[in-house]
Structure 1
Amino acid sequence: MLTDLTFTVSPQEAGTRLDAALLARCPTSSRAFCRHAVEAGRVRVNGRPGLKGGKLRAEDIVQVQRLKERADNRVQPDAAVPVDLVFADEALLAFNKPAGIAVQPLSSDERGTLMNGAVARFPELAALGDQPLMAGALHRIDTETSGLVLAARTVQAFAALRAQFAAQTVEKRYLAVVEGHVAVPGRLAHDLAHHPGLDFCRMVDARSLAGPVRRLHAETAYRPLGFIGPSTLLEVTIFTGVTHQIRCQLALGGWPIVNDILYGARPVAGCARHLLHALAARFTHPVSGRPCCIEAPAPEAFRPMSEGERTRGAPGALTAPSAM
């Protein structure tokens, strides 16, 4: 845990991100917890609030104040969070998460995430899962990504569904709006790795890194569904579950997701998110044993333009921030 820590940045740490330096100094804390410490304003650099992505300089003084992980580290209910429930039975819940909120909190003091809202409506979730702050959620999607999130309602259902995720038998489909026109379907396969040190939140092609790295194999299939102005709407199916898999692989293929600045896309004025939506998941139901497919409807921003709209030169849904 982090608590009342003060240290001076060494020459070897110069240029390191603040959250990465905290993780190196406090190996018993999680990466997410170190990021939360910075975001919560509990970390100061030379007397000023630190920035999560800020780079440190030699001789900087870093102070971490009164930040402790509670013994009861469960997700707390927050009825103010709207919950869009798209499926529910005795074993399973499925939510359509809006862009802009996280799936789970980073500490038990945090509110405003999807699972805070879910626990307020389904209190049994708080005691489920192999990580207390997941509250029965079976997987994560990025904060800026909208769409389907599955959660188990019983211990048995959680174990059965987690086994399917671990075995990579859950088929996950997404919608992505990418820069440029993609004419034909295809499939991407890469070994990905976390960018070392200064930018560990970004994934890269492992071949671009020198030295030994942990390689994570990722496979993604895509097919074009239509055009939205100068961009293409893709249906994307992933067969593995690597962090930022779709975002990184599409960028490596030359088609970054619209407004995904982290992976090289151009910023879009008035668009507060990257255009990626978790559309559907296909799996075996943990109780009935039958095939099950659940979908989460996509926002209007993911609607391809009709031929008439293209002929009239209509801007398409991409330019309607209210739909994003």
Structure 2
Amino acid sequence: MASEADEESEVLTAEVPAELAGERIDKALAGLLPTLSRARLQALLAEGRVTRGGAPVDAKAKAQAGAYAIAVPPPEPAEPQPEAIPLTVLFEDAHLIVVDKPAGMAMHPAPGSERGTLVNALLAHCGDSLSGIGGVARPGVVHRIDKETSGVVVAAKTDAAHQGLSALFAAHDIERVYIALTRGAPRPERGVIEGAIARSAHDRKKMALVKSGGRHAVTHYAVERVFGPQERPLAARVACRLETGRTHQIRVHLASKGTPCLGDPTYGSGPPAEAVREAIRQAGLARQALHAAVLGFRHPVSGQALRFESPLPADMAALEVLLGRL
């Protein structure tokens, strides 16, 4: 439970209106306090940090109209530990390292993925040379790809490289091509998907296209191959070139065309055809079929032009072969 010694806690207040009375207290407060997720509020409730009239509120209580106080403790700085995890290193010098990240490996420690991350592996591999600009929780991290997305990523080993790479990403002066295997095929076969992306108002774990607010996002795509009947493809191989790099950008943009990545549990919006489901099962694909295949940039210190390609990993390669038989 929370103690009176929590002097550094930030105390937030929320006024629950009458129309929210009777809702779950975590849900009601999450709608009033957008900086706190329902999961975070549930933890704070369990710790006795949510009070009404000075008394702790039961985590299972229904919301009542009136004022609530939420004592949010300061975050504890994460200090990831080195872990001797094998890495597929595509390039490394004194300033940076380029790695082919497997699916299932998170970029950095976070709730639910405290160990076994790329940062843990890099700390063991690079030692004290890893850049600290990303903070103690994300040393060396310049950009991110989703935990279940495989492919090429770059990390900085020096402050100069971190600053230079960050500037390249901010200016969109990076070549980034992803390969997606999609349900159906986007139409037209080549085009640009443009639309601002923000966190979904209905599900905080998801991103969504929004008409106002959000961050501008642009994805260039090209259908490289279709599977099944040409007039109504069951699936497709699609190359996506990022002009911007927003959270879940390709997954959201492809889903907005009605052609989400196969195996995507978040943006799949309906099952593919039975033959495609069987191919996914046989291939052993247990994640979204998305792979960061190309990463190209100018070395931030030497100025050398660098470009790295990664072939499809085993699960996506097997799925592509099976789809080719449809």
* Residue number in structure 2 paired with 1:118: 122
Does residue 286 of structure 2 align to residue 282 of structure 1? no
* Residue number in structure 2 paired with 1:69: 75
Which residue among 63, 73, 77 is the counterpart of 1:58?
63
Deviation at 1:218, TM superposition (A): 1.6
Amino acid across the alignment from 1:305: V
Alpha-carbon deviations, 1:258-287, whole Å to 9, x = none? 122322443557542111111111111112
Taking the aligned partners of 1:46 and 1:224, their CA distance within structure 2 comes to 53
SS at match of 2:123: helix
Under a length normalisation based on structure 1, what TM-score does the superposition of the two structures give? 0.72
Does residue 151 of structure 2 align to residue 147 of structure 1? yes
- Asked if the contact 1:206–1:215 (Cα under 8 Å) also holds between the matched residues in 2, the reply is yes
* Residue number in structure 2 paired with 1:317: none
- Asked if the contact 2:130–2:157 (Cα under 8 Å) also holds between the matched residues in 1, the reply is no
Alpha-carbon deviations, 1:71-108, whole Å to 9, x = none? xx25422425443322211111112222223111127x
Does residue 92 of structure 2 align to residue 88 of structure 1? yes
- Asked if the contact 2:122–2:130 (Cα under 8 Å) also holds between the matched residues in 1, the reply is no
Deviation at 1:176, TM superposition (A): 0.4
Taking the aligned partners of 1:253 and 1:4, their CA distance within structure 2 comes to 43
* Residue number in structure 2 paired with 1:97: 101
* Residue number in structure 1 paired with 2:222: 223
Deviation at 1:173, TM superposition (A): 0.6
Alpha-carbon deviations, 1:145-174, whole Å to 9, x = none? 111221011111111110000111112110
* Residue number in structure 2 paired with 1:52: none
Which residue among 184, 203, 220 is the counterpart of 1:180?
184
Change (3 A) 1:164 1:69: same
Does residue 292 of structure 2 align to residue 292 of structure 1? no
Change (3 A) 1:19 1:100: farther
Taking the aligned partners of 1:83 and 1:20, their CA distance within structure 2 comes to 44
* Residue number in structure 2 paired with 1:131: 135
Taking the aligned partners of 1:80 and 1:13, their CA distance within structure 2 comes to 51
Change (3 A) 1:282 1:132: same
Q: Percent identity?
A: 30
Taking the aligned partners of 2:63 and 2:294, their CA distance within structure 1 comes to 48
Under a length normalisation based on structure 2, what TM-score does the superposition of the two structures give? 0.72
Change (3 A) 1:98 1:64: farther
* Residue number in structure 1 paired with 2:3: none
Taking the aligned partners of 1:144 and 1:134, their CA distance within structure 2 comes to 18
Deviation at 1:247, TM superposition (A): 0.9
Alpha-carbon deviations, 1:191-231, whole Å to 9, x = none? 22324543234333323xxxxx4142222111222245631
Count of residue pairs the alignment pairs up: 288
Q: Can you give the 5+ residue segments of structure 2 that lack an aligned partner in the other structure? A: 1-7, 47-56, 229-233, 272-276
* Structure 1 segment 183-198 matched on structure 2, within 5 A: 185-198=189-202
Change (3 A) 1:216 1:4: closer
Change (3 A) 1:239 1:87: same
Deviation at 1:36, TM superposition (A): 7.9
SS at match of 2:260: coil
Which residue among 245, 252, 256 is the counterpart of 2:249?
245
Deviation at 1:130, TM superposition (A): 3.6
SS at match of 2:213: coil
* Residue number in structure 2 paired with 1:162: 166
Q: Can you give the 5+ residue segments of structure 1 that lack an aligned partner in the other structure? A: 49-55, 208-212, 314-324
Alpha-carbon deviations, 1:106-144, whole Å to 9, x = none? 27x932221112112212355522433221111011122
Alpha-carbon deviations, 1:39-77, whole Å to 9, x = none? 9x77649557xxxxxxx9535xx999997633xx25422
